[in-house]
Amino acid sequence: MHLIKILSRILLLCSFTSQPSLVQSLQLGPLISTCVDACGRGCLEIRSVQAARLSSESSSTLKVQLKDPQDPRSALTEADQAAHIAIVGALRQEWGDQLKIVGEEDDDEELDAMLSKKTYEPLKRDLFENDIGDMADVDPSTITIFVDPLDGTREFVEGRLENCQVLVGIAIGGESFAGAIGIPFPDGDLSSESTIVYGVADIGAGVLGTTLKRGPFPLDHYIDGVKYPRPQHATGDSTAEVMDACRKGTIHRCGGSNVIYGGAGNKILAAALGEVASSLQHKVGGPWDLCAPEAVLKAMGGKITDLFGEEIQIYKDDWKENRYNERGYIASPAGGKKLFHEALSKALLALPEVQKYRDEVTK
């Protein structure tokens, strides 16, 4: 297990810590540990649904519904629901009213009712006791945990399992601090156990479970250097005008080619791992899409801003009113990150389509 060194981060938390006499503080080590453990439980639920899906008796019984009947990307499956119950339920039982826990599926009244009826095995609080332990305490009122039980639901439905992830992120004072990215299908199937990549922003990252076969190069179907010349830039398959312009603008500025990755977490992890030179998206569903991936990316030395080159602000309570989710992101890996990231941001912001989009979402 990679050891996270967090001492230098403690000073940055001082502004988030209240006086002990006024509020009971919370230890970060146990908090991060429970989030990593909960992320692993979510992966297990998704794998269980997939195993049942492949069985002869239930191969065609995957339950899928659309949150938005007009948008295939809004699919919700029994895998999302099972993972949500396992993660959010266990975290709420573990921390009670001490923490604000926000899940992508929180608006589902049926799920809320199911959560209230279950009990859970206690989450592990000691995964990092030798690394983080009780060195840093934070006012729990400044903390929000953001959960995306299945990032890449559409990919799960369509069988592109390597794109699926479980995201559990910790924001402190409106900034992404730490996160766990669960990968239920590291090899694109059930042949290997889940992987969890975890990290503390600007400090360090580690991996639990199956060793990733993803390295400094993309997944197998992108390795063709003729069809997909490097440097490669990851986006989704959105046909929005602004994304079409961003793809063309990125290649014009940096060279290389565009590759399609499903799921926000998967795109950002691709940048963190150095598979791609950049990852771009013009909007996301909510803070649960970005909190964990941002922390892991920064833990690995990468950089992320919104599409307009500004700091990510989506973890604030007013994210919907200010349409922070519609400001998207640009993510880039470590290694000359500042100059490259700033150059790409400026090049994209100079595009008329990006300026038009910025005016629409920031007015």
Q: Are 200 and 6 in contact (CB under 8 A)?
A: yes
Residue 87 has pLDDT above 50, yes or no: yes
Output the six-digit token pair for 113. 């009712």
pLDDT surpasses 80 at 27: yes
Q: Report pLDDT for 339.
A: 84
Q: Using 50, 70 and 90 to split pLDDT, how confident is the model at 68?
A: very low
Cα(190)–Cα(186) distance, integer angstroms: 8
Residues 6+ positions from 54 with CB-CB distance below 8 Å: 190
**Torsions phi, psi for 302 (to 5 deg):** -85, 180
Of 233 and 104, the structure prediction assigns the larger pLDDT to 233
- Range among 47-61, 87-101, 224-238, 346-360 with highest mean pLDDT value: 346-360
Cα–Cα distance measured from residue 181 to residue 179, given in angstroms and rounded to the nearest whole number:
7
And the tokens for 207? 């991996």
Indicate if the pLDDT at residue 4 is higher than 90.
Answer: no
| Residue that has been written with the tokens 């692993």 in this structure | 40
Res. 41: pLDDT tops 70 = yes
Name the percent of the chain lying above pLDDT 70.
81
- Rg of the Cα atoms in the chain: 20
Instruction: Please report how many Cα atoms fall inside a 13 Å half-sphere around the Cα of residue 198, on the Cβ side.
Output: 28
Pick the CATH number of 220-358 from 3.40.190.80, 3.90.650.10, 3.30.230.10, 2.40.50.140: 3.40.190.80
pLDDT of residue 259: 92
More confident residue, 363 or 299: 299
pLDDT in tens, 103-155: 887 766 677 777 777 889 999 999 986 665 445 688 999 999 999 999 998 89
Pairing label, strands 278-281, 232-235: parallel
What does the H/E/C string look like for 198-242?
A: EEECCCEEEEEECCCCCCCCCCHHHCCCCCCCCCEEEECCCCCHH
Dihedral angle computed from the Cα positions of residues 279, 281, 285 and 288, in that order, rounded to the nearest 10 degrees: 20
184 neighbors 301 (Cβ within 8 angstroms): no
More confident residue, 195 or 56: 195
| CA angle at 36 for the pair 33 and 42, rounded to the nearest 5° | 140
What average pLDDT does this structure show over 198-212? 91
Q: Is the pLDDT of residue 202 over 60?
A: yes
Residue 154 backbone phi and psi in degrees, to 5:
-60, -40
Question: Measured in Å, how far apart are the chain's first and last C-alpha atoms?
Answer: 46
Question: Alpha-carbon dihedral of residues 235, 239, 242, 243, nearest 10 degrees?
Answer: 10
Q: How far is CA 89 from CA 19, 333, 358, in A?
A: 30, 34, 38
Name the DSSP letter for residue 130.
T
Q: What is the pLDDT of residues 236-283, one digit of tens each?
A: 999 999 999 999 999 999 999 999 998 999 999 999 998 899 999 999
Domain ranges (residues) in the chain: 7-209, 220-358
Instruction: State the fold for domain 7-209.
Output: Fructose-1,6-Bisphosphatase; Chain A, domain 1 (3.30.540)
Residue reference for tokens 């990316």: 297
Q: Among 278-287, 331-340, 348-357, whose mean pLDDT is lowest?
A: 331-340
Query: Of the ranges 20-29, 151-160, 251-260, 346-355, which one carries the lowest mean pLDDT score?
Result: 20-29
CA distance 200 to 57: 43
Q: What is the pLDDT of residues 77-86, one digit of tens each?
A: 889 999 999 9
In terms of Cβ atoms closer than 10 Å to its own Cβ (0-12, 13-18, 19+), residue 211 is exposed
**Residue 145 to residue 320: CA distance in whole angstroms:** 17
Out of 9-18, 62-71, 216-225, pick the least confident: 9-18
- What is the rounded CA–CA span in Å between residue 166 and residue 300? 19
pLDDT for 97 equals: 84
pLDDT band of residue 75 (cuts 50, 70, 90) is low
